[in-house]
Amino acid sequence: MSVVPPGVERVLFTEEQIHARIREVAAEISRNYQGKSVKLIAVLKGSIFFLTALARHIEVPVSIDFLGISSFSNKSGAQGVVRIAKDLDEAIEGEDVLLVEDIIDTGFTLRYLLQTLAGRAPNSLAVCTFLDRHSRRIVQVPVDYRCFEIDDRFVVGFGLDYNQLYRNLGYVAVMGPKKNV
Ligand code: IMP
Ligand code: MG
């Protein structure tokens, strides 16, 4: 593997490990959605890398759609304020929806998305995340499929960014303590 970029400490999951695990999760999804089709919904931008890799290995009919969100702290400093910046192109009423996430951290983003999507009457709504940092969870959210559980370190690659950089790394890496990039 090539040398990691400056600011990056070490590789956590190699490209090979990632693809092997994604194939396992895709097989599980294919079994559970047998006889149905599944709509994958990803949150821009990080999750598109995981969505495309996952979709390629799912063996039931797949459609895709995207949501754009912005999350911020409000004036009083309350965490977890999320709003939709780009809505889905199509309705999800009656569909079997699988929400595809890059990472679940505090759970605020996912809770908001689940509430929003549940209000649109899908036939079913499940969650598939690439990474899960359960130790930092503040609000409890259901997670149906996860590729990897990670410790409390900031990670980049395979869609995950630091200041919009590193999304294109094929592997997942731990950022160095200074994040000096
Ligand atoms: P939360 O679950 O609402 O706290 O937020 C999850 C979002 O925070 C993810 O969709 C990422 O955009 C971002 N995020 C959290 N942890 C990391 C990380 O380690 N690297 C890159 N982005 C992260
Ligand atoms: Mg981000």
The two tokens of residue 36 are 């149905």
pLDDT at 6 over 90: no
For residue 35, what is the DSSP state? T
Reported confidence tier of residue 178, pLDDT bands at 50, 70, 90: low
Reported confidence tier of residue 177, pLDDT bands at 50, 70, 90: confident
The secondary element (H helix, E strand) that includes residue 121 is: none
Of the listed ranges 23-27, 34-38, 125-129, 177-181, the one predicted with least confidence:
177-181
Reported confidence tier of residue 82, pLDDT bands at 50, 70, 90: confident
Reported confidence tier of residue 77, pLDDT bands at 50, 70, 90: low
- Compute the mean pLDDT over every residue in the chain, rounded to the nearest whole number: 93
pLDDT at 13 over 60: yes
User: Exposed, middle or buried by CB within 10 Å (0-12, 13-18, 19+), for 41?
Assistant: buried
Ligand 1 atom at shortest distance from the alpha carbon of 108? 3
Q: Would you call 173 helix, strand, or coil by DSSP?
A: strand
Q: Which amino acid would we find at residue 22?
A: I
Q: Please report the pLDDT score of residue 1 as a whole number.
A: 55
Ligand 1: centre distance to CA 69 (Å): 12
Q: Would you call 141 helix, strand, or coil by DSSP?
A: coil
Query: Catalytic residue among 87, 105, 151, 161, which?
Result: 105
Q: Please report the pLDDT score of residue 176 as a whole number.
A: 84
132 lines ligand 1 (CB under 6 A): no
